[in-house]
Amino acid sequence: MTFKAPDFTSLEVVAFAGSGIPIGINIPNYDDIRTNEGYKNVNLGNAYPKVTPTTLDFLSEEDMELVIEQYDTAEVVGVAIHELLGHGSGTLLYEGKFDPNLINPATGEKVDCCYKEDETWSSKFGKLSNAYEECRAETMALYLSCYHDPFSAFEMHQNWERSRDMIWLYMAYAGLKGLLFYDPSNNMWGQAHCKARYAIFRVLQEAKVVSIEFTEDGSFFMRMNREAIPGEGFAAIKDFLMKLHCFKATADLTRGTELFDYFTKTDEDILKAREIILSKQKPRRMNVQPTLRMENGSVQLLEYDESFDGIIKSYCERFPYFDEEMFEDFNKEWALMHK
């Protein structure tokens, strides 16, 4: 077997077709192609949100300062680990293609289930697969951020522990804020990444690394005991990642579902925090993308205000004329889709 070194490319977004812009992508999403051919990891360098005191509700002043100070550099390391060693790892065990005496580290016993020849990760885990896989990748980021090596690869040698603390803090914070996408009446999550990060928040809460402190003015603070990260935090995340990883590798839907259901349940305090988060919700970030234009033989970059006017202007300048042929093709496709 030939080892192919992983590749991590950073791109600047000129245009992105979709309702939102991710900050990192592991492509393609087909398991068989990833296993047999490989995959690409892409960081979208200018797609990261701006963090300011107004975007960091429910954090203490000290924690807020840490995120603002470290986010631009530390989050890139977290995304790199997520894409490269999170999504980019995890061999699946197929029937007849592994040692029958292999011990499953998550159970301490011989592997008792595996994938059939016609099964894939997505087909086996179904609707759970997206959130579960995102959680595995995010947990990998927390686990490996406890080592200096990932930061060294990005030439971050000074105060790398503060970068680690930011990755952990922001992950737990994102998990709690992700309750915006949780529907308690149906016990359903509307976004896979939010459910994944919430599970991590609960792991850290159970390990007493993070906590919620309600205030007399009807709000709350999420607090993290940073001193506990190398000890109780690392041990909890290590155990959680090992189980996520092994249950995926062995097609263990039963244990995987039990684990994930346990760490995505809510309680009275969580639902109370959710109501407060909803009451203080701010308008969603506007993703305004630039336009490239050729002018006098040179490429010009046109940028716009982050506003509705800026979005409209960007589209008008990106599509300055009516393309009748493209419009006809669109109408044909639309008619076929709604036949």
The tokens describing 282, both together, are 């701010």
- Amino acid of residue 262: Y
Burial class from Cβ neighbours inside 10 Å (0-12, 13-18, 19+) for residue 62 reads exposed
- Count the Cβ atoms, other than its own, within 10 Å of residue 65: 13
Among this protein's residues, is 83 annotated catalytic? yes
How far is Cα 307 from Cα 295, in angstroms, rounded to an integer? 26
DSSP type of residue 55: G
Place of tokens 């979005």: 311
The tokens describing 211, both together, are 């906590």
Catalytic residue from among 61, 62, 69, 83? 83
Contact indicator for 194, 180 with CB cutoff of 8 Å? yes
How far is Cα 174 from Cα 171, in angstroms, rounded to an integer? 5
The tokens describing 2, both together, are 């030939």
Give which of 223, 189, 174, 179 is closest to 48, Cα–Cα. Answer: 174
Contact indicator for 145, 167 with CB cutoff of 8 Å? yes
The tokens describing 163, both together, are 């970068």
DSSP type of residue 94: B
Which are the catalytic amino acids? 83
